[in-house]
């Protein structure tokens, strides 16, 4: 569903999903968003994970609160330079810290719907990109949110080992079932080099994401190496794309370039009618 409405205040909506939890979907979403901001795109980041909304912690804005304007929520703005920054909205701002949301089924979906529909993303300016960080996996909740939103496509994050790839195939099939184009696969925690001796350690392996992309006929966007600094920067709230000129940071540049290419290709395939 490629956007054609010129009055839409959001030009591109992209969902970030994963076949299973713990593959670094949120870390990838945060760093993609930061890379987009760095390349001067107006970018919003929606943390749509009602169960484990961790983006505010990763960005060190967990004590911020969104403001409101005529019953619409205004995102929290994270300035990243003189004239650019990232607009962030998260379920975490709505839910008491350490509390699990005890609602079932429809009540849960209604809450999510109200939340995602009640955000004024263009509070300052129209957005070039809105990245939506879905809950992990292919369960009821990510599926319900995916159905709620009219997106350009989905990016699927995986780690290289077989068990994660099994779930990644499910994620691709879920996207197809929901008729959401797959923009591509990102392999996270790809390869690992000991920071002491420089030897490569075969922790989660390498290359599985590209193999699955080929096998399932979807684009491969690139790999992000496993870096202990990433874990620590996620915990401390320092986004590593901007702070550290590492192989990990550079990998996001290449991934965003590839994503742009794929999305241009998707557009040209849109029927003229």
Q: How many CB atoms lie within 10 A of CB 85?
A: 15
- By beta-carbon proximity to a copy of itself, the closer residue of 75 and 137 is 137
Give dist(CA 175, CA 180) in Å, integer.
Answer: 5
Stretch of 126-134, 163-171, 246-254, 257-265 contacting a copy of itself, by CB under 8 A: 163-171
Binding mask 83-122 for a copy of itself (x = CB under 8 A): ---------------xxxxxxxxx-xx-------------
Please report how close the Cβ of residue 52 comes to a copy of itself at its closest, in angstroms: 5
Decide if residue 182 touches a copy of itself (CB under 8 A).
no
Do 16 and 134 contact (CB within 8 A), yes or no?
Answer: yes
Contacts of 15 (CB under 8 A, 6+ apart): 131, 132, 134, 146, 149, 151, 153, 154, 155, 180
Grouping H, G, I as helix, E, B as strand and the rest as coil, residue 268 is: helix
Stretch of 19-27, 115-123, 126-134, 263-271 contacting a copy of itself, by CB under 8 A: 19-27
Question: For residue 184, what are the β-bridge partners?
Answer: 155
Give dist(CA 119, CA 264) in Å, integer.
Answer: 27
Q: How many CB atoms lie within 10 A of CB 215?
A: 11
Binds a copy of itself (CB under 8 A): choice among 38, 152, 167, 187: 167
Please report how close the Cβ of residue 168 comes to a copy of itself at its closest, in angstroms: 9
The site that binds a copy of itself (CB under 8 A) totals a number of residues, namely 59
Give dist(CA 34, CA 52) in Å, integer.
Answer: 21
Decide if residue 225 touches a copy of itself (CB under 8 A).
no
- By beta-carbon proximity to a copy of itself, the closer residue of 171 and 256 is 171
Angle between helices 140-148 and 162-177 (to 10 degrees): 40
Give dist(CA 157, CA 163) in Å, integer.
Answer: 14
Stretch of 29-37, 65-73, 82-90, 161-169 contacting a copy of itself, by CB under 8 A: 161-169
Q: Which residues bind a copy of itself (CB under 8 A)?
A: 19-23, 50-52, 54, 57-58, 98-106, 108-109, 135-141, 143-144, 159, 161-163, 166-167, 169-171, 173-174, 177, 194-197, 199, 201-205, 226, 228, 231-232, 234-235
């Amino acid at each position: 569903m490629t956007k054609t409405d010129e009055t839409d205040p959001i030009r591109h909506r992209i969902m970030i999903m994963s076949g299973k939890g713990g593959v670094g979907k949120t870390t990838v979403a945060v760093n993609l968003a930061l890379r987009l901001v760095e390349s001067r795109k107006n970018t919003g980041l929606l943390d749509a994970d009602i169960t484990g909304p961790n983006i505010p912690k990763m960005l060190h804005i967990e004590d911020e609160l969104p403001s409101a304007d005529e019953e619409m929520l205004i995102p929290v703005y994270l300035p990243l330079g003189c004239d650019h920054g990232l607009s962030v909205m998260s379920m975490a701002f709505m839910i008491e810290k350490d509390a699990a949301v005890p609602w079932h089924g429809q009540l849960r979906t209604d809450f999510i719907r109200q939340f995602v529909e009640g955000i004024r993303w263009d509070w300052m300016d129209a957005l070039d990109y809105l990245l939506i960080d879905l809950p992990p996996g292919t369960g009821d909740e990510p599926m319900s949110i995916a159905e709620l939103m009219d997106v350009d496509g989905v990016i699927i994050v995986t780690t290289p080992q077989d068990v994660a790839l099994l779930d990644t195939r499910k994620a691709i099939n879920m996207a197809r079932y929901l008729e959401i184009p797959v923009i591509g696969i990102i392999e996270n925690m790809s390869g690992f080099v000991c920071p002491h001796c420089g030897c490569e350690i075969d922790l989660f392996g390498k290359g599985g994401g590209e193999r699955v992309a080929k096998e399932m006929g979807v684009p491969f966007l690139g790999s992000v190496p496993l870096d202990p600094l990433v874990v620590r920067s996620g915990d401390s709230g320092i986004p590593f794309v901007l702070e550290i000129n590492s192989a990990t940071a550079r990998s996001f540049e290449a991934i965003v370039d590839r994503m742009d290419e794929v999305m241009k290709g998707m557009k040209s395939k849109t029927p003229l009618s």
